[in-house]
């Protein structure tokens, strides 16, 4: 957007007007179509809170709810117009709860919204009311304290409350609070000032003067005491007076309606409410400011107000009508931004900010006269009434051009608030930035330019040419936020440029602090340090927010070129490039910093990658970190641990690799054989001859060994770990090798312990003890000492040890042992002889029993039945058992076949077939019959093993009657 210089600064060029676009007019006057017939002319009208009140010349009052226009309240005054006069004026409060009706003969009536019966105001008889100031709190049950302006200049305070009692007056009280010599009180307004609820402001207008009072009001909330008397007595009004005014011209006081969803600008530009005073000279208008509270409020209010001349409002430039300066302004109304004037038969709207007329249209026909211009303060609607017609003044997007006006007034913030479209906001931002640049406010301009579409290179060159790196940084940051995520290249370029600017700024501040020079005339050394921290914090926030817009290699190169170590590592940390950070510290041998970074890692590969170098230079600290890290695969750390162990020269207790492996084995209960083999390797290969630690580990493994026994044995042999080798041989069950190894190193006590291990193998145990005995005898100085030692094994006899004694040994040295051995042999011989005698007697008894069996018989009684089929036993061949159970041979064979095994059953069937078919004869047949008898009648099927095998058979078989078992 091009800019053109103006006399008071920079504003948008003429083509800004095109940004508004084609739209409907702001103002439009529409005739309201009445849905009912009117019996008389309108004489007065009021609108509030979407309620329309119409007064007819016949004394009737129509109350219409615009939300339900079909329901009309038709209300009559208590007396005929011939008695009280025609209705002259009406006053309706903003909530439409209270209505005061005034007639031409001085009668005044009060009508509540919940009533259809107007009540006369007796205390106000003969008072010609010209204006009313309703209570600022807008009560609905009663009016509370209100001010009434009369035609004789008197200002009354009253309290009106509806009453159903016949003799009770509607007015609780009526007091005169002020008497003005100016004539009619044409307008009066009251509102509360912020801060305290008892602080009021009153605005009063006459034909020639405008009064402003502000101060503390009295406590009249009970309805019996005056509220405004104290205010009028104690406070001196601020007066704005006009000279050469005419009392014949219309005079009125208007205030703007409540804002309807409009943006709020700053208080010094547009307060919530404005006022306008109509006089013969024109319209004096301003803002109802609320600060400062005090006697100077009125002075400031009038000083900031301005007069819009009558000639400017009333004059017309229409092509088909003559310009007339004699037109009078009959009535006014205020919108949020405009003044609506009724000038003869025309409606004229002027912008309050510029005074320019934006609407001028003839509404009334020749000879037609308006009776009022009304405003609904709460619903923000505007109405024009004639004697027979109603017009609504419709507003559309009233604030559409406010941004341009604010822009011309150089109120850029307000202009931006009222700019609706992106093009409008862009125009405001561009103009605002150019204005700030012209004033040398580069930092402020940077933020504004960042929201505009002004060419990037132009703005950047302005800051570069004027040596404003801070402003450039601010602009780039703002501009970066305007680019979409899809504009990757632009975002990367701007973000990279910002990194360069940040680094240059930080270096500049560091140089200033180091050299002790003054950064500028306004910053000392302490302030420079504060700025350094602020810029560093800004850099860190930028990196955190825009890390996705930064190219890793580019940023590394930029920051490294400036030597900014802290910022470089911060960036690497933000993007989780821990490999870079660790490599950086390790290359500089800053082990403590490297370990601090390692502590925060969750990627296990990082631990494996850097474990070797860190174990070499910071083993104890690294082990602490590793012990706190869950999920590590110790197998992957073994190369680093072995490398450390290979170069470690200290005592075993200080070996950090062993310390970590002990933690993994003891605390984490690792079952990985590689881990256990590594620990055994470190124990075995340590230069110390002390095997305590290794033996302790081997003993802790118990029967479930996690290490490779062969590997461990080979290591122990290579490193001469005798005790450990012996333990491993023992754990492998190789007791002979264990004893031989122990004895070869003169570990007789250890060998004797091992010799006692195979308790379940006496022969092996004796063999081991003989080896120990041989060693003991060969090294013993005295025979008695050796014999005493060997008495620990009960398997060794003196004759076993005799071959081990030297030939020259005197028998007297172990005569007692030989005698004891002979006595033992003698006792054993006697015992064996006794056992032989007992065996001979047992054999003789068995022969007698066998002979008796040949003569044993059983008695079978007549009528004896088979225990299987129940038929008489003697009808066919049978078997009788010693238990007296008897069975037919075929019944017994069938039962045996059912319960016998497969092999036995097959053999029984073979014998039966061969015998029955005569396949065998003679002695062979007799032998087969004997075999069959032995197979079938080997045991009783009811009380032998056969019965035990049938324990799982049910008592009641399938097909049997269960009732037979009933008790």
689-715: pLDDT as tens digits: 777 777 777 777 776 777 777 787 787
Contacts of 234 (CB under 8 A, 6+ apart): 215, 216
DSSP state of 237: P
Burial of residue 6 (CB within 10 Å: 0-12, 13-18, 19+) is exposed
In Å, how far are 334, 430, 681, 705, 720 from 714, measured between CA atoms?
A: 108, 86, 10, 16, 10
Cβ–Cβ contacts within 10 Å for residue 942, how many?
15
- Return d(Cα 431, Cα 4) in angstroms, integer: 10
- Return d(Cα 92, Cα 120) in angstroms, integer: 16
Q: Residue ranges of the chain with pLDDT lower than 70? A: 1-23, 166-168, 219-224, 260-272, 316-326, 516-523, 703, 732-734, 740, 742-749, 751-822, 825, 853-854, 967
Q: Please report which helix (H) or strand (E) contains residue 628, including its range.
A: helix 619-628
Give bridge partners of residue 372 from the DSSP assignment. 385
Cβ–Cβ contacts within 10 Å for residue 444, how many?
17
Burial of residue 52 (CB within 10 Å: 0-12, 13-18, 19+) is buried
- Return d(Cα 111, Cα 116) in angstroms, integer: 7
Q: Are 569 and 541 in contact (CB under 8 A)?
A: no
pLDDT of residue 13: 38
Cα Rg for the chain, rounded, in angstroms? 61
Burial of residue 902 (CB within 10 Å: 0-12, 13-18, 19+) is exposed
Torsion 494-497-498-499 (CA) sign: positive
**Residue 203 Cα to chain centre, angstroms:** 54
- Return d(Cα 494, Cα 306) in angstroms, integer: 49
Rounded to 5 degrees, φ, ψ at 720 are 55, 45
* Length of the chain counted residue by residue: 967
Q: Are 155 and 107 in contact (CB under 8 A)?
A: no
Bridge-based pairing state of the strands 357-362 and 370-376: unpaired
pLDDT of residue 755: 67
Long-range contact set of residues 444-449: C-beta below 8 Å, sequence gap at least 24: 445/471, 446/471, 446/472, 446/473, 446/474, 446/475, 446/478, 447/474, 447/475, 447/478, 448/412, 449/475, 449/478, 449/479
Please name the residue that has the structure tokens 């570990």: 747
Q: Are 12 and 427 in contact (CB under 8 A)?
A: yes
- Return d(Cα 161, Cα 114) in angstroms, integer: 12
3-state secondary structure of 945: helix
In Å, how far are 308, 323, 386, 662 from 360, measured between CA atoms?
A: 16, 13, 18, 99
User: Nearest-CA neighbor of 87 among 144, 38, 132, 46?
Assistant: 46
Q: Are 425 and 417 in contact (CB under 8 A)?
A: no
């Amino acid at each position: 957007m091009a800019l053109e210089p103006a006399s008071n600064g920079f504003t948008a060029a003429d083509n800004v007007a095109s940004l508004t676009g084609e739209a409907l007019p702001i103002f439009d006057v529409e005739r309201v179509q009445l849905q009912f017939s009117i019996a008389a002319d309108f004489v007065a009208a009021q609108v509030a809170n979407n309620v329309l009140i119409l007064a007819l010349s016949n004394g009737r009052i129509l109350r219409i709810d615009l939300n339900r226009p079909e329901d009309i309240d038709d209300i009559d005054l208590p007396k005929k117009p011939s008695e009280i006069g025609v209705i002259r004026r009406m006053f309706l409060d903003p909530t439409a709860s209270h209505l005061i009706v005034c007639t031409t003969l001085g009668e005044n009536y009060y009508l509540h919204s919940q009533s259809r019966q107007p009540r006369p105001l007796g205390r106000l008889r003969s008072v010609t009311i010209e204006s009313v100031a309703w209570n600022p709190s807008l009560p609905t049950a009663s009016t509370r304290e209100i001010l009434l302006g009369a035609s004789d200049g008197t200002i009354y305070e009253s309290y009106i409350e509806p009453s159903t009692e016949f003799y009770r007056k509607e007015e609780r009280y009526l007091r005169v609070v002020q008497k003005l010599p100016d004539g009619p009180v044409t307008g009066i307004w009251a509102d509360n000032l912020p801060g305290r609820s008892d602080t009021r402001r009153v605005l009063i207008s006459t034909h020639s003067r405008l009064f402003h009072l502000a101060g503390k009001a009295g406590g009249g909330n009970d309805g019996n005491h005056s509220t405004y008397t104290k205010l009028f007595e104690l406070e001196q009004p601020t007066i704005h007076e006009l000279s050469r005014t005419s009392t014949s011209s219309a005079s009125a006081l208007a205030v703007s309606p409540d804002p309807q969803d409009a943006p709020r600008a700053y208080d010094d530009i547009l307060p919530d409410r404005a006022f306008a005073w109509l006089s013969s000279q024109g319209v004096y208008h301003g803002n109802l400011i609320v600060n400062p509270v005090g006697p100077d409020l009125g002075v400031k209010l009038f000083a900031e107000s301005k007069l819009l001349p009558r000639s400017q409002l009333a004059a017309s430039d229409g092509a088909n009508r003559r310009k007339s300066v004699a037109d009078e302004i009959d009535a006014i109304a205020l919108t949020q931004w405009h003044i609506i004037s009724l000038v003869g038969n025309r409606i004229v709207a002027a912008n309050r900010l510029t005074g320019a007329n934006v609407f001028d249209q003839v509404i009334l026909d020749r000879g037609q006269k308006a009776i009022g211009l009304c405003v609904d303060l709460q619903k923000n609607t505007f109405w024009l009434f004639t004697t027979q017609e109603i017009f609504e003044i419709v507003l559309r997007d009233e604030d559409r051009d406010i941004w341009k006006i604010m822009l011309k007034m150089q109120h850029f913030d307000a202009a931006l608030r009222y700019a609706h479209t992106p093009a409008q906001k862009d125009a405001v931002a561009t103009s605002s930035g150019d204005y700030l640049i012209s004033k040398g406010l580069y930092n402020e301009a940077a933020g504004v330019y960042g929201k505009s579409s002004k060419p990037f290179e132009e703005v950047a060159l302005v800051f570069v040419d004027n040596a404003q790196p801070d402003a450039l940084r601010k602009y780039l940051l703002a501009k970066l936020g305007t680019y979409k995520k899809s504009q990757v290249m632009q975002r990367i370029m701007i973000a990279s440029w910002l990194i360069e600017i940040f680094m240059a700024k930080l270096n500049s501040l560091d140089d200033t602090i180091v050299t002790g020079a003054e950064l500028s005339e306004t910053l000392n050394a302490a302030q420079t340090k504060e700025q350094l921290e602020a810029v560093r914090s800004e850099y860190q926030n930028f990196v955190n927010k825009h890390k996705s817009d930064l190219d890793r290699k580019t940023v590394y190169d930029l920051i490294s070129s400036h030597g900014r170590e802290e910022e470089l590592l911060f960036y690497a940390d933000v993007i989780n490039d821990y490999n870079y950070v660790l490599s950086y510290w390790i290359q500089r041998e800053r082990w403590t910093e490297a370990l601090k970074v390692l502590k925060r890692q969750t990627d296990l590969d990082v631990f494996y990658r850097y474990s070797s170098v860190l174990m070499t230079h910071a083993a104890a600290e690294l082990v602490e970190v590793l012990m706190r890290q869950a999920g590590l695969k110790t197998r992957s750390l073994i190369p680093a641990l072995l490398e450390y162990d290979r170069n470690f020269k200290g005592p075993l207790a200080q070996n950090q690799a062993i310390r970590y492996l002990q933690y993994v084995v003891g605390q984490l209960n690792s079952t990985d054989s590689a881990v256990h083999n590594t620990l055994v390797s470190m124990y075995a290969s340590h230069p110390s001859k002390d095997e305590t630690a290794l033996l302790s580990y081997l003993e802790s493994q118990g029967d479930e060994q996690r290490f490779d026994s062969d590997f461990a044995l080979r290591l122990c042999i290579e490193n001469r770990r005798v005790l450990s080798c012996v333990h491993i041989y023992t754990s492998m069950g190789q007791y002979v090798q264990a004893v031989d190894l122990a004895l070869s190193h003169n570990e007789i006590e250890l060998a004797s312990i091992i010799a006692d291990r195979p308790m379940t193998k006496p022969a092996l145990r004796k063999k081991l003890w003989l080896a120990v005995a041989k060693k003991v005898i060969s090294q013993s100085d005295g025979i008695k000492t050796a014999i005493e030692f060997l008495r620990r094994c009960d398997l060794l006899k003196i004759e076993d040890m005799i071959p081990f004694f030297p030939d020259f040994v005197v028998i007297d040295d172990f005569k007692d042992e030989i005698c004891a051995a002979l006595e033992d042999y003698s006792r054993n011989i006697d015992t064996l002889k006794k056992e032989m005698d007992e065996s001979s007697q047992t054999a003789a008894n068995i022969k007698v029993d066998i002979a008796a069996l040949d003569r044993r018989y059983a008695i079978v009684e007549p009528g004896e039945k088979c225990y299987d089929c129940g038929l008489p036993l003697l009808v066919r061949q049978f078997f009788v058992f010693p238990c007296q159970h008897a069975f037919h041979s075929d019944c017994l064979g069938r039962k045996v076949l059912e319960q016998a095994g497969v092999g036995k059953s097959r053999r029984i069937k073979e014998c039966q077939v061969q015998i029955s078919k005569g396949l065998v004869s003679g002695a062979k047949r007799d032998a087969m019959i004997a075999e069959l008898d032995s197979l079938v009648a080997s045991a009783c099927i009811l009380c032998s093993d056969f019965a035990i095998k049938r324990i799982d058979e049910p008592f009641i078989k399938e097909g049997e009657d269960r009732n037979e078992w009933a008790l």
